[in-house]
């Protein structure tokens, strides 16, 4: 096993955190902004790239590896947390919005998982965080995540985050699942991911579900989320738009605003 071995505990329900237990000289890596707390004896270091063998080498190699991460919405730098004391020590990372933290042992899935942009939270040192280019034109243009998604590679533990509740489906060979494009969180490398036009002018104009499905064909595993961050953001914006609250009708909405003092 090339990646560091770590123990972990996931705590909480709606706003979860993952607590990672490190032995001496073990290291966890995480995205900037996800850190919550750590025990004495753990040293924090900002590193260029993800600290994996794939990001090692010369300066240009590291620059290329880190630069690819910018395409997935991540920063050039990550933070490494290394236990330099004795005994065991813990470091914790928090989820960025309501949802679930999903632990994945990459060695159980062919050492690779493909996931949506910004899904990665933290991992054992040695896990490589890179980009996955969609080779199909339709998938790239209409897949909700564009041509570029994240890929997590290695043989250690990795943790990604998704919105709302997350469910895992195992697809048999040839079995197909049609999913809203924003609800796809991650899938194994054996899954065939494509885009299908919904069809029908009434569905397209009045269905309210967009024009395309994501089609996932087995064999393999897929992870789905009930609340994509884009859907959550649009709902928040709709309630915060001009006109105040969003009620069942204009009269009730205006009356509510008047009671709140907004109509004064």
pLDDT at 145 over 70: no
**CA 99 from centre of chain:** 10
Distance, in Å, from the CA atom of 193 to the CA atom of 189, rounded to the nearest integer, reads 9
pLDDT at 252 over 80: no
Reported as half-sphere exposure (CB side, CA atoms, 13 A), residue 207 has a value of: 14
The band of 101, judged by pLDDT with boundaries at 50, 70 and 90, is very high
- pLDDT at position 104 is 95
- pLDDT at position 241 is 60
The band of 4, judged by pLDDT with boundaries at 50, 70 and 90, is confident
Instruction: Residue 28: name the closest of 78, 87, 95, 99 by CA.
Output: 78
Sheet holding 157-163, edge to edge: 42-48, 77-83, 27-30, 120-124, 157-163, 99-105
Which of 100-104, 211-215, 239-243 has the largest mean confidence?
Answer: 100-104
Instruction: Residue 161: name the closest of 217, 99, 206, 223 by CA.
Output: 99
pLDDT at 264 over 50: no
The band of 195, judged by pLDDT with boundaries at 50, 70 and 90, is confident
- pLDDT at position 200 is 52
Instruction: Residue 162: name the closest of 109, 113, 213, 110 by CA.
Output: 113
- pLDDT at position 70 is 59
- Poorest-confidence range of 9-18, 86-95, 125-134, 220-229? 125-134
Report phi then psi at 41, rounded to 5: 105, -15
Distance, in Å, from the CA atom of 59 to the CA atom of 63, rounded to the nearest integer, reads 6
DSSP 8-state secondary structure symbol assigned to residue 217: E
End-to-end CA distance of the chain: 67
Residue 126 CB partners (closer than 8 Å, separation 6+): 2, 3, 4, 51, 52, 53, 154, 155, 156
- pLDDT at position 248 is 45
pLDDT at 57 over 60: no
- Poorest-confidence range of 88-92, 174-178, 199-203? 199-203
Q: What is the mean pLDDT of residues 47-56?
A: 67
pLDDT at 71 over 60: no
pLDDT at 29 over 80: yes
Q: Mean pLDDT in the chain?
A: 78
In this structure, are residues 128 and 56 in contact, taking their beta carbons and an 8 Å threshold? Answer: no
**Helix (H), strand (E) counts: the chain:** 5, 19
- pLDDT at position 243 is 53
- Poorest-confidence range of 117-121, 139-143, 150-154? 139-143
Domains for the chain: give ranges and CATH numbers: 7-227 (3.60.160.10)
The band of 43, judged by pLDDT with boundaries at 50, 70 and 90, is very high
The band of 129, judged by pLDDT with boundaries at 50, 70 and 90, is confident
DSSP 8-state secondary structure symbol assigned to residue 125: T
pLDDT at 121 over 90: yes
What is the reported pTM?
A: 0.76
Distance, in Å, from the CA atom of 52 to the CA atom of 115, rounded to the nearest integer, reads 18
The band of 75, judged by pLDDT with boundaries at 50, 70 and 90, is low
């Amino acid at each position: 096993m090339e990646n560091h071995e770590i123990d972990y505990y996931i705590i909480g329900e709606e706003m979860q955190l993952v607590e990672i237990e490190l032995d001496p000289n073990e290291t966890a890596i995480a995205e900037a902004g996800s850190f919550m707390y750590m025990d004495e004896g753990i040293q924090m270091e900002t590193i260029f790239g993800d600290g994996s063998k794939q990001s090692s080498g010369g300066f240009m190699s590291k620059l290329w590896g880190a630069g690819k991460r910018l395409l997935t919405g991540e920063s050039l730098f990550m933070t490494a947390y290394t236990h330099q004391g004795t005994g065991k020590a813990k470091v914790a990372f928090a989820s960025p919005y309501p949802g679930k933290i999903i632990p994945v042992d990459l060695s159980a899935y062919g050492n690779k998982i493909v996931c949506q942009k910004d899904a990665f939270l933290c991992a054992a040192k040695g896990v490589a965080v890179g980009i996955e280019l969609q080779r199909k034109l339709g998938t790239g243009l209409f897949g909700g995540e564009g041509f570029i998604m994240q890929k997590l590679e290695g043989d250690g533990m990795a943790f990604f985050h998704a919105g709302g509740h997350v469910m895992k489906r195992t697809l048999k060979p040839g079995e197909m699942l049609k999913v809203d494009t924003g609800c796809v969180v991650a899938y194994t490398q054996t899954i065939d991911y494509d885009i299908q036009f919904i069809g029908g002018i009434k569905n397209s104009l009045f269905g309210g579900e967009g024009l395309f499905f994501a089609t996932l064909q087995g064999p393999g595993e897929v992870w789905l989320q009930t609340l994509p961050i884009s859907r959550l953001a649009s709902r928040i914006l709709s309630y915060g738009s001009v006109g105040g609250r969003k009620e069942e009708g204009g009269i009730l909405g205006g009356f509510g605003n008047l009671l709140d003092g907004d109509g004064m």
